[in-house]
Amino acid sequence: MRKDSPGVYLPPPLFYVAFFFLSIGLQRLVPLPDHLAHPVVHHILGLVCLAVAVVFVLPALLAFFRSRNTLITFLPAKSLQTGGIFSWSRNPMYFGLLMAYAGLACFLGNWWTLFLIPLLVLVVQRMVIIPEEEYLHRAFGADYTAYKARVSRWIGRRAVDTGDHRDWAKAKR
């Protein structure tokens, strides 16, 4: 087993929880309107965000458990996850947590929670994702580099340059 690790000692969900409580504190100090739209709209948006969270988090957790990989970010990874939901996001659990965070913000009508999302994303990237990516590069080398070229950090597949620059419409003929 590898001795190296990402070296992330705070559990990543704590960042989301801390920002959520920060937004509650900000709402008490500098109150913003509870709703900028009809409450039904907020609840629908909240449900959509929570559904997206489940779609990303559950398959990622299942993949980790099936492969007997660790969720503890200061322990070494046993394998590189690249299939299933990991073919759509290199960080489906963090993206799912972000969607759950946004969903709760919609349900509670706390606009501070939404306004803090860019800062939360920045903090999670700097404090968690970048150290994890550096570790995965050390641990898995070319396999991780190829994976990183195919899949975006947060969500989406990338077009992989195969070196064939022909026009696809012409190539079909």
Long-range contact pairs involving 66-75 (C-beta distance under 8 Å, separation at least 24)? 72/11, 73/5, 73/6, 73/8, 73/9, 73/11, 73/12, 73/128, 73/132, 74/5, 74/6, 74/7, 74/8, 74/9, 75/5
- 112, part of any domain: yes
Q: What is the per-residue pLDDT for 164?
A: 46
What CATH number does residue 78 fall under? 1.20.120
Q: How many domains does the chain have?
A: 1
Q: What is the per-residue pLDDT for 160?
A: 62
Q: What is the per-residue pLDDT for 108?
A: 85
> What would the pLDDT profile of 11-30 be if each residue is shown by its tens digit?
999 999 999 999 999 999 99
- 4, part of any domain: no
- 7, part of any domain: no
- 28, part of any domain: yes
Q: In the block, which residue shows the tokens 């989301």? A: 16
Q: What is the per-residue pLDDT for 109?
A: 81
Q: What is the per-residue pLDDT for 157?
A: 82
Eight-class DSSP state of 68? T
- 168, part of any domain: yes
> By residue range, what is the domain housing residue 100?
13-172
- 38, part of any domain: yes
Segment holding 12, helix H or strand E: helix 12-29
- pLDDT-flagged residues of the chain (< 50): 1, 164-173
